[in-house]
Amino acid sequence: MQDTPDTPDTIQEPRRWSDGQWTAQVIKNEDDDGWAVSMTLKGETEPALVGPWTMGRDKKNPKPLDVSAFHTLVKTASEVLRRHEQQLHAQLHKNVAVTVNGQRLRVQLAIVPDEEGATATLSAQDELGEELARVPVPPTFKLTPASATAWAEAGFERPR
């Protein structure tokens, strides 16, 4: 079957499977006599997942990839990427809830990474979600309940 530009490149070989989006590659484990499998997402240079792979019956060669194993590997690699994205989001978007002068506030720090220099914004919302203030801050700003309270008590002036 020849692939058209609209269909993904499908590979189903004993040591290499691809659905056009993900590619599983069985490789020799450099640390021991066993085998490993890597899962790489299309367009990425590094695998999202590398793990041990089962030996075949001859205890020398790897077990061939099959549709069931490939789907399990895709699911696992996708979950690894999802967790990585969630962790990155948590690092770049922090928030705390504080009470200042009897008013409950949610203070957020949003960091935007950039190769030429990251930027960050500090914002405050009231209990109804209405924005009370938004100021630029250094991406190194440490958001804590104490720093959020101090910022609100200072009238939401740009922290130094």
Point out the domain boundary residue: 49, 65, 81. Answer: 65
Residues 60 and 96 in one domain: no
Q: Which residue in 105, 101, 152 sits closest to 127, CA to CA? A: 105
Range of the domain at 21: 11-65
What pLDDT was estimated at residue 3?
A: 44
Structure confidence by residue, pLDDT tens digits, 56-86: 888 888 999 999 999 999 999 999 999 999 9
Answer whether residue 144 shows pLDDT above 90: yes
What pLDDT was estimated at residue 8?
A: 58
Position 86 in a domain: no
Residues 100 and 135 in one domain: yes
Structure confidence by residue, pLDDT tens digits, 23-42: 999 998 877 778 999 999 99
Position 158 in a domain: no
Answer whether residue 6 shows pLDDT above 50: no
Residues 61 and 17 in one domain: yes
Position 117 in a domain: yes
Structure confidence by residue, pLDDT tens digits, 81-130: 999 999 988 889 999 999 999 999 999 999 998 888 899 999 999 999 99
Residues 59 and 15 in one domain: yes
Position 84 in a domain: no
Domain count, the chain: 2
For residue 53, with 0-12 CB atoms within 10 Å meaning exposed, 13-18 middle and 19 or more buried, which class applies? Answer: buried
Position 73 in a domain: no
Residues 61 and 97 in one domain: no
Residues 54 and 96 in one domain: no
Position 102 in a domain: yes
